[in-house]
Amino acid sequence: MFVLVTAGGGTQATVEDAGNLKQLHAEFRGVSDRTGAQVIAASGLGSADEEHAWLDVSALRAAGDESVRAAGGDAADWARQFDAMIAYAASKGWTDPDGSRVRAHIIRT
* Residues 35-44: tens digit of each pLDDT: 999 999 999 9
* Residues 68-105: tens digit of each pLDDT: 989 888 999 999 999 999 999 999 999 999 999 999 99
Largest CA distance in the chain: 38
Q: Give the number of domains in the chain.
A: 1
In the chain the first and final C-alpha atoms are separated, in Å, by: 17
- Mean pLDDT, rounded, for 44-50: 94
Domain of residue 101 covers 2-108
